[in-house]
Structure 1
């Protein structure tokens, strides 16, 4: 059984790709210097809006459906929770990419 030799330039190796990505990010951070406080606050604001906007859309759509169908708060609650789930998922993906 011959094993494939491990080579640092092997692009198929997930560990090597992750190490290169991490190294690139560290180099960009070193080139840019310290991130400002306002940049971090802006990122927090974007994350908040990423979660809140789908929730509000679900709230308004659910309210409209409940009013049109006369179902109380059934659609409002369901679409509000759905908006929370979608917004949280979207924020999580945004954080993973950053």
Structure 2
């Protein structure tokens, strides 16, 4: 019986070190938002500039690419800290 208690305590200690499903799911959500938010901000800025300057999609396309790149870089840095 003493051995069973020790095994159970050891399993609990090991389980505490593993992240839960909810935590992993939350981290995926954070990563998604870290990529999407800069992309949407850059898209909105590009559309506004194109509307003000009547330039088609001259500013929208490069700013969208820049926003996605910035979001991916930010997500990469966040993963490195985790």
TM-score per shorter chain, which class?
0.7 to 0.9
Which residue is equivalent to 2:35? Answer: 51
User: 1:42 Cα deviation (Å)?
Assistant: 0.3
User: 1:31 Cα deviation (Å)?
Assistant: 8.0
Q: Which has the higher helix share?
A: 2
The higher relative CO (CA closer than 8 Å, separation ≥ 6) is in 2
User: How do 1:62-73 residues align onto structure 2 when only pairs under 5 Å count?
Assistant: 62-73=46-57
The two structures have a TM-score, normalised by structure 1, of 0.67
Give ranges in structure 1 of 5+ residues lacking alignment. 1-28
Counterparts of 1:59 and 1:51, CA distance in 2: 13
Q: Which residue of the other structure, out of 71, 79, 89, is the alignment partner of 2:63?
A: 79
Counterparts of 2:14 and 2:70, CA distance in 1: 34
Aligned length: 70
Which residue is equivalent to 1:33? Answer: 17
**Large movers: runs of 4+ above 6 Å:** none
Counterparts of 1:77 and 1:32, CA distance in 2: 46
